[in-house]
């Protein structure tokens, strides 16, 4: 919708906002009409509350740039804590903390080899989520 459309709708009383505030406020209906069939269909297709909660928790894990960097590094290669810390110019303790968060969310796994611990992505779904996210932000 362009500015001309907003002017037309405003002149007709069709939206509840001014042009100056269009980026600050959500456009809302002037009257309440419940579309029962749509609401029922959407309700019937909604995942269980527990699943939605778990999904929200997963996305919270992605809300930290250090964890994003770690995951991105693990796209390229399995890495030990020392290498990740060096790559990101952080302490091993800080990296270990973030890796614990990622492991508890089942995003990474580890294996021990002698005195070293190597981390990798838990499965290919994670890379797919990131690819979709990058595509979304690159589209603008």
* Cβ atoms within 10 Å of 113's Cβ, excluding its own: 8
**CATH code for 50-138?**
1.10.10.10
Residue 117, classed as helix, strand or coil, is strand
Name which of 19-33, 56-70, 99-113, 116-130 the model is least confident about: 19-33
| Domain boundaries, given as residue ranges, for the chain | 3-33, 50-138
The rounded distance, in Å, linking the Cα atoms of 12 and 21 is: 18
Residue 50 in tokens:
């527990």
What does the pLDDT look like over 3-45, one tens digit per residue?
A: 444 444 444 455 454 555 556 788 888 888 999 999 999 999 9
The rounded distance, in Å, linking the Cα atoms of 58 and 73 is: 19
């Amino acid at each position: 919708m362009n500015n001309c459309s907003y002017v037309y709708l405003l002149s007709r009383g069709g939206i509840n906002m001014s042009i100056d505030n269009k980026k600050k406020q959500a456009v809302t209906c002037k009257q309440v009409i419940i579309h029962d069939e749509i609401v029922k269909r959407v309700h019937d297709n909604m995942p269980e509350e527990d699943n939605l909660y778990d999904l929200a928790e997963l996305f919270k894990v992605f809300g930290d740039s250090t964890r994003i960097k770690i995951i991105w590094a693990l796209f390229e290669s399995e890495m030990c804590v020392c290498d990740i810390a060096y790559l990101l110019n952080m302490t091993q303790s800080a990296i270990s903390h973030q890796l614990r968060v990622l492991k508890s969310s089942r995003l990474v796994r580890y294996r021990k080899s002698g005195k070293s611990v190597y981390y990798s992505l838990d499965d290919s779904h994670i890379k797919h989520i990131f690819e979709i996210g990058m595509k979304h932000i690159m589209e603008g």
